[in-house]
Chain A
Amino acid sequence: MQITFWGVRGSYPVPGAATVRYGGQTSCVEVRAASGECVIVDAGTGMRQLGNKLLRESGGQPGQYHVLLSHVHWDHIQGLPFFSPAYIPGTRISVYALLTAADELNQVIGGITRHEFFPMPLEAVPAQFDFHQVEPGVDFVVGSFHVTPIALNHPFGSVGYRIDADGSSVAYVADTAPFDKVLHKQHFLAGPEPLSSDDTVALGAMRAALLARLKGVDTVIYDTHFLPDEYARFPHYGHSTPDQALDICVEAGVRRLVLYHHAPGHTDEQMDQVAATYLAKGASVGIEVLTSFEGMSLPIGAE
């Protein structure tokens, strides 16, 4: 397998001189098997550039694309209307996502192309869309990929994916808060709320399930939006730090951790420091820690 990062930023796209090297586009990762089949994880603004590349590769012919969504916050779906293969008649796009409310997935995804927000509603887009509801604990197969959804701790719910193919595995763990201070549910959080004993049990179970599914994974891509001092101020925002990600990876016996979903305010210079700091921290516990940047490609498994 090979993974390529098309958007590594969290929250919103950040153009400008401060983000030239790590990139300013939001969450989107391409996972490609040796067979050439691919799945796209998250449809943030990075998906525009990926779409242009896929369209060039297909020579403008219709194709079948699979998109796994962690959740449907704007920064994870905003690229979908700008995915150029969607405008080729005959294209099929399968979208997999957690159903977090009574609305049907097609309405939630279609909602971003409502007349008020975008010139063309989803029904008018030439590609044919089909929607698949994902449930943590229920594995599924997409072509030659075996996909294991994993419940995460994020406002209104989020799901990570372990993806196995070609005898190796990669996991996408974003967006998520750690599993101690805050349990995210389906409501607005103005600040951290006291945990009930049920909440503590739920967090423990979520963490244990994540660890079980990450056991022995080759490469883990993890939401490390915050630096520790930022996390201390915003523990209720639903994101983690590199240290929290590293703890999880150590316990799960993971070989390699990729820092991902960088805060929009983090400049290239800050990211250089983060990369150096956590490369060293990772090395001290036997984990290769890489910091993702737009355009980064990594082979997964035996090289």
Chain B
Amino acid sequence: MKIRFWGVRGSFAMSGRDFLRYGGNTSSIELVSNSGQRLLVDLGTGATELAKHLMGAEFGKGQGKLPILLTHTHLDHIQGLPFFTPFFIKGNEIRIMGADPISGLSLEATLQNQLAPHYSPLNGLENLAAGVTISSFVPGGTLEVPGFVVQTAAVPHGSMWTTAFRISADGKTVTFLSDVEYPSVDEPLPQALALAQDADLLIHDAMHSDLDYEMRRGWGHSPARAGVVVAERARAKRLALFHHSPDATDDMIDEVVARTSSETSVPVFAAAEGAYLDV
């Protein structure tokens, strides 16, 4: 299995020279199995770059099939949806899977609101030319996605919940735990540990510096240390820091990686836009 980060930034897309090495696009991750099957997590602005890449192949001809998992529907995780060009080609089949927000709206109604005529000239999901299905699931179970086994769990994110994923293919496992804040940094929740158990790669929310975290407890994000605790307890083999703060320049992220690495024996890197990585 290979992974490529198309967007690693949290909350807000950041352009400019200070954000070139790690990248300024918001959350979007592509996983590709050895047999070439593909799975996406999140549709932040990073998805618009991935879209260009996909359109060069079968999606440009209306022959693409793509499953997409959404962690939740905060804007930085879906803002690339109206600009994800495979949606505009008839024949593509795209399946979006996620939990219903706890507000009482369904996932589908939420995405309809995103494309409501005030906000988008697309004027509703029904105007996307591709075949689009939106399916809600209740976190805690397993999802069938061609080529992958996906286990899900709900984790706390401020006043709401997000879905965390354990994604396995080709005998390898990637765990995605972003937009999460545990009641205590040193006591990760059991469902998070279970998803991360023996994972080859743990991708974890690391939005806050330690100082910021003291001021922003309860906002639903973690400092880098939270990922370290999960990785160590669950014996994950590698830790990728993810959901970088929009205020974190490349140099600041370098410092976080250096400091975090010095505090654990688990290999740590900061997720960055760029090449495909072997899991």
Residues of A within 8 A of B (CB): 11-17, 19-20, 23-25, 45, 48, 72-74, 77-78, 82, 100-101, 103, 108, 111-112, 114-119, 155-156, 186-190, 237-238, 264, 294
Complex: how many Å from CA A237 to CA B82?
A: 13
A17 to chain B, nearest CB (A): 6
Complex: how many Å from CA A74 to CA B158?
A: 24
Contacts A25-B15, A237-B121 known; 11 new A-B pairs at CB < 8 A: A12-B48, A14-B45, A15-B45, A77-B119, A111-B116, A114-B103, A116-B103, A117-B74, A188-B124, A264-B48, A294-B15
Find out whether the CB atom of A73 lies under 8 angstroms from the CB atom of B120. yes
B179 to chain A, nearest CB (A): 10
B239 at the interface (CB under 8 A from A): no
With beta carbons under 8 angstroms apart, the residue of A16, A77, A78, A186 that contacts B24 is A16
* A186 surroundings in chain B (CB, below 8 A): 117
Q: Which residue of A lies closest to B126 (CB)?
A: A188
* B24 surroundings in chain A (CB, below 8 A): 13, 15-16, 24
Find out whether the CB atom of B121 lies under 8 angstroms from the CB atom of A73. yes
* B219 surroundings in chain A (CB, below 8 A): 119
Complex: how many Å from CA A111 to CA B117?
A: 12
Find out whether the CB atom of B159 lies under 8 angstroms from the CB atom of A12. no
With beta carbons under 8 angstroms apart, the residue of B48, B121, B158, B246 that contacts A189 is B121
* B15 surroundings in chain A (CB, below 8 A): 13-16, 19-20, 23-25, 294
B27 to chain A, nearest CB (A): 13
Find out whether the CB atom of A115 lies under 8 angstroms from the CB atom of B80. no
* B159 surroundings in chain A (CB, below 8 A): 115, 119
Find out whether the CB atom of B20 lies under 8 angstroms from the CB atom of A16. yes
A196 to chain B, nearest CB (A): 21
Find out whether the CB atom of B25 lies under 8 angstroms from the CB atom of A15. yes
With beta carbons under 8 angstroms apart, the residue of A11, A45, A189 that contacts B83 is A11
Given contacts A23-B15, A115-B103, contact A12 B118 (CB under 8 A): no
Find out whether the CB atom of B12 lies under 8 angstroms from the CB atom of A82. yes
Given contacts A14-B15, A15-B45, contact A116 B110 (CB under 8 A): yes
For B, the interface residue count at a CB cutoff of 8 angstroms equals 47
Find out whether the CB atom of A117 lies under 8 angstroms from the CB atom of B73. yes
A84 to chain B, nearest CB (A): 11
Complex: how many Å from CA A12 to CA B84?
A: 11
Given contacts A74-B119, A101-B117, contact A115 B16 (CB under 8 A): no
With beta carbons under 8 angstroms apart, the residue of B13, B110, B122 that contacts A188 is B122
With beta carbons under 8 angstroms apart, the residue of A12, A72, A77, A100 that contacts B80 is A12
Find out whether the CB atom of B14 lies under 8 angstroms from the CB atom of A15. yes
Find out whether the CB atom of A24 lies under 8 angstroms from the CB atom of B121. no
Find out whether the CB atom of A156 lies under 8 angstroms from the CB atom of B74. no
B261 at the interface (CB under 8 A from A): no
With beta carbons under 8 angstroms apart, the residue of A103, A114, A118, A237 that contacts B118 is A103
* B118 surroundings in chain A (CB, below 8 A): 72-73, 100-101, 103, 108, 111, 156
Complex: how many Å from CA A15 to CA B262?
A: 31
The 10 A-B residue pairs whose C-beta atoms are closest, nearest first, are A24-B15, A15-B24, A155-B121, A188-B123, A13-B13, A116-B101, A115-B103, A15-B15, A116-B110, A188-B127
B113 at the interface (CB under 8 A from A): yes
* B227 surroundings in chain A (CB, below 8 A): none
Residues of B81-122 whose CB lies within 8 A of A: 82-83, 101-103, 105, 110, 113-114, 116-122
* A294 surroundings in chain B (CB, below 8 A): 15-16
Residues of B125-180 whose CB lies within 8 A of A: 127, 158-160
* A116 surroundings in chain B (CB, below 8 A): 73-74, 101, 103, 105, 110, 113
Find out whether the CB atom of A74 lies under 8 angstroms from the CB atom of B23. no
Find out whether the CB atom of A16 lies under 8 angstroms from the CB atom of B121. no
Complex: how many Å from CA A294 to CA B15?
A: 10
